[in-house]
Amino acid sequence: MLEKEVAEKRLLEALNYLKESGLSPEQIIELANKLLRVPVKEEVKVPISVFKNDKLGSLETIVKYLRENLLLSFKQIGFLANRNEVALAVSYRNARKKLEAKFVVTEISPYSIPVSILQDRKLSVLENIVSYLKDTFGLAYHKIAVLLNRDDRTIWTVYQRARKKRK
């Protein structure tokens, strides 16, 4: 047998043992995350002020902030955002090319974006952010557009598209 097949067989045996021991699937996942040292701690949030740039897309902004300001690995970011590590690394590399300077968060705002909202892969990153701001805080399209440094019409379109996808 190949090494990978042996590893898969052992992992399957270990999972069956854990199930037989009475652990729930949630407990098994929590244990695996603990052993892999992927943090499952307090909610990781991105301040809204980092979106006030003309150069980066939403995902690039988030990845750059999490990597440089919070010093998270691509594996940790991928776990939090339900995204592929390689794709995140590419986004980060592109963000660095467009904007070399590290984000300096000076503006204090009551709004921040929890990274966990990106877990929903049915919606784009921007759709998730706009929906979160609109549904959670009840913000007007114009206010969201100002916060995200986008056009009002773009925000309206993105929100309408997200609503259709959720139906």
| pLDDT tens track for 102-136 | 998 877 888 999 999 999 999 999 999 999 999 99
Specify which residues 45 forms β-bridges with: 114
- Which amino acid makes up residue 22? G
pLDDT digits (tens, 9 = 90+) for 68-81: 999 999 999 999 99
d(CA 101, CA 13): 48
pTM equals 0.73
